[in-house]
Amino acid sequence: MNAVLSRYATPFITGLFLVSLVSGVALFFHVGQASFHEMHEVLSMVLIAPFVLHAWKNWRSIANYLKRAPMWIGLAVSLAVAVPFAIPSGGGRSGPPQFALAMKVMQGSVTDVAPIFGTDGAGLAAKLTAAGFTVADPSESLTAVAEGSGASVEALAAALVAPPAQ
């Protein structure tokens, strides 16, 4: 087992860190969101395994670092800069403006949103009903239609943009 740790832990840490670095920078600059988002999330989780192997392999060195102030200072500063990102700002969901726009559209009523899709309230209600949603009243919001149908807002959005049934 020690030979496997020595041979693969550090190379996998390096490779997955580089993938995480590149995808993280791309996400920060809003480049290739669709390509990099899932890659960044999943491979960052995969990075945990080689990190644990690397820490196991180098535990003596890590223990020595933990006896000195620079490690504790580095950990404290890292925690201090991370905490503000974890505290809700009260400004609602952050992210690209198209997400905020989509959420605003989903808060609109079936009747109000229908012209965006080239139809009226009754037509959009019929399309949603045909897709399996329950539209009790065209004046209810799209979010309420999704919730009332036991579906996600994402599923309702997919139904809205789906081509008409032939």
The predicted-structure confidence for 42-98, as pLDDT tens digits, reads as follows 999 999 988 988 888 889 999 999 999 999 999 999 999 999 888 876 555 556 787
* Environment class of 103 (CB within 10 Å of its CB; exposed 0-12, middle 13-18, buried 19+): middle
Mean pLDDT rounded to a whole number for the chain: 88
How large a percentage of the chain has pLDDT more than 90?
A: 57
pTM tops 0.85, yes or no = no
Q: What is the pLDDT of residue 32?
A: 86
pLDDT tier for residue 166 given thresholds of 50, 70 and 90 = low
The predicted-structure confidence for 142-154, as pLDDT tens digits, reads as follows 999 999 999 988 8
Structure token digits, residue 55: 């820490």
Cα gap 106→162, rounded to integer Å:
16
Output the DSSP codes for the chain: -HHHHHHHHHHHHHHHHHHHHHHHHHHHTT-SHHHHHHHHHHHHHHTHHHHHHHHHHTHHHHHHHHTSHHHHHHHHHHHHHHHHHHS--SS---S-HHHHHHHHHHHSBHHHHGGGGTS-HHHHHHHHHHTT---S-TTSBHHHHHHHTT--HHHHHHHHHSPPP-
What angle in degrees, to the nearest 10, is found between the helix axes of 153-161 and 97-107? 90
- Of residues 112 and 87, which shows the higher confidence score? 112
